[in-house]
Amino acid sequence: DAGVIQSPRHEVTEMGQEVTLRCKPISGHDYLFWYRQTMMRGLELLIYFNNNVPIDDSGMPEDRFSAKMPNASFSTLKIQPSEPRDSAVYFCASSTRQGAGEQYFGPGTRLTVT
């Protein structure tokens, strides 16, 4: 069975550009999480969805960040406009209701904003 799929794996963009990160969760998982990881701040939860509905977006840093989940098999995280301080690895993870503590992470998108 395929794991969590993220694209692109690497993204280099200039400040001010729009960035869209994509995630396909594991089939049958009804929770989807977006995280950001940096050396300074570690792994931070940005937002999570249950059955495609955003439940907690308190970790979204500011209005430049938005996330959507139009269906059970696809989610996007958009940054517009991007800034150099957004440079990080962005992970998507999914889990089932029964296995709340076991989140399956995708390989991440390494974003560099110059």
Partner 1 sequence: RKEVEQDPGPFNVPEGATVAFNCTYSNSASQSFFWYRQDCRKEPKLLMSVYSSGNEDGRFTAQLNRASQYISLLIRDSKLSDSATYLCVVNPMDSSYKLIFGSGTRLLVRP
- Regarding 28 and contact with partner 1 (CB under 8 A), the answer is no
- Regarding 53 and contact with partner 1 (CB under 8 A), the answer is no
Q: Which is nearer to partner 1, 33 or 65 (CB)?
A: 33
Least spacing, CB of residue 77 vs partner 1, in Å: 16
- Regarding 102 and contact with partner 1 (CB under 8 A), the answer is yes
- Regarding 105 and contact with partner 1 (CB under 8 A), the answer is yes
Q: DSSP assignment of the chain, as one string?
A: ----EEE-SEEEE-TT--EEEEEEPPTT--EEEEEEEETTTEEEEEEEEETTEEEE-TT--STTEEEEEEETTEEEEEESS--GGG-EEEEEEEE-STTTT-PEE---EEEEE-
Out of 26, 34, 90, 95, name the contact with partner 1 by CB under 8 A.
95
Q: Which is nearer to partner 1, 81 or 107 (CB)?
A: 107
Least spacing, CB of residue 4 vs partner 1, in Å: 8
